[in-house]
């Protein structure tokens, strides 16, 4: 499973990159707004720090606007991916951009039908939002399982980015379901590598180590 970070925070990206855990980055307008910097400037800097794909989202709602923005964004770096919302206009934009060799990430996917449409239009990635599906009383992980099965059934090359991950359970279940990618918010990361029994075990080992005789030989 590939790990993307769902952040535009440069310090966070640099810190986690040191652990070898960053295969790519996803952003959205909300994430970009938190950084208080110009959009292209942030994306270019992130693209220079990370080897893998970096998603940057369009704001336009018509196909013409999306395609125009996407062509501009695609020039910012060779590893940039254009995030397009899951609408009829978005599907048309994805179809056009795919023919031009521009990689796309279709976002705000909440059903198997939407994911299938995006894959059919040529999306490089689709982003189903598991946390927001759970928020409306449905099962986000079941959506990932069903999307994986559907894309496998027809050998689509489109990769599933599990997005809106809120819990360790989301990540683990998405991995078990075979999601290609998980995009993880920085706030969740420490919980992924921590366990209270690990801390307790280290403490116990340090206490016991004090009982080991120290050599008196010079
Ligand atoms: O980047 C898209 C997605 O991960 C957003 O998550 O927590 O705002 O639902 P969230």
Query: Could you please report the per-residue DSSP string of 162-198?
Result: EBS--SHHHHHHHHHHT-SEEEE-TTTHHHHH--HHH
**pLDDT tens digits for 94-140?**
999 999 999 999 999 999 999 999 999 999 999 999 999 999 999 99
Active site includes 2?
Answer: no
Kindly give the distance from the C-alpha atom of residue 51 to the centroid of ligand 1, in angstroms, as a whole number.
Answer: 22
Domains of the chain with bracketed CATH = 2-209 (3.20.20.70)
pTM: 0.94
Kindly give the distance from the C-alpha atom of residue 79 to the centroid of ligand 1, in angstroms, as a whole number.
Answer: 21
**pLDDT tens digits for 21-73?**
999 999 999 999 999 999 999 999 999 999 999 999 999 999 999 999 999 99
Of residues 83, 103, 148, 173, which has the active-site annotation?
83
Identify which of 83, 8, 79 has the alpha carbon closest to the alpha carbon of residue 39: 8
Do residues 88 and 122 lie in contact, with contact meaning Cβ atoms separated by under 8 Å?
no
Q: Is 27 in the pocket of ligand 1 (CB under 6 A)?
A: no
Kindly give the distance from the C-alpha atom of residue 165 to the centroid of ligand 1, in angstroms, as a whole number.
Answer: 7
Nearest CA to ligand 1 atom 10: 164
Q: Is 58 helix (H, G, I), strand (E, B) or coil?
A: coil
């Amino acid at each position: 499973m590939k790990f993307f970070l769902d952040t535009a925070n440069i310090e966070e990206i640099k810190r986690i990159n040191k652990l070898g855990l960053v295969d790519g980055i996803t952003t959205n307008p909300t994430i970009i707004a938190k950084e208080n910097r110009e959009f292209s400037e942030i994306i270019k800097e992130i693209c220079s720090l990370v080897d893998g794909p970096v998603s940057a989202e369009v704001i336009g709602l018509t196909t013409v606007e999306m395609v125009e923005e996407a062509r501009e964004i695609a020039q910012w770096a060779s590893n940039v991916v254009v995030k397009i919302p899951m609408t009829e206009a978005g599907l048309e934009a994805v179809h056009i951009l795919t023919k031009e060799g521009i990689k796309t990430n279709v976002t705000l996917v909440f059903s198997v039908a939407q994911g299938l449409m995006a894959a059919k239009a040529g999306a490089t990635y689709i982003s189903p939002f598991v946390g927001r599906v759970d928020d409306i009383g449905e099962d986000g992980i079941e959506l990932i399982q069903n999307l994986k099965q559907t894309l496998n059934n027809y050998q689509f090359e489109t990769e599933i980015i599990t997005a809106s991950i809120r819990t360790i359970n989301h990540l683990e279940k998405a991995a078990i379901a075979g999601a290609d990618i998980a995009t993880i918010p920085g706030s969740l990361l420490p919980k992924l590598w921590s366990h209270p029994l690990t801390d307790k075990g280290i403490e116990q080992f340090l206490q016991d180590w004090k009982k080991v005789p120290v050599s008196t030989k010079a």
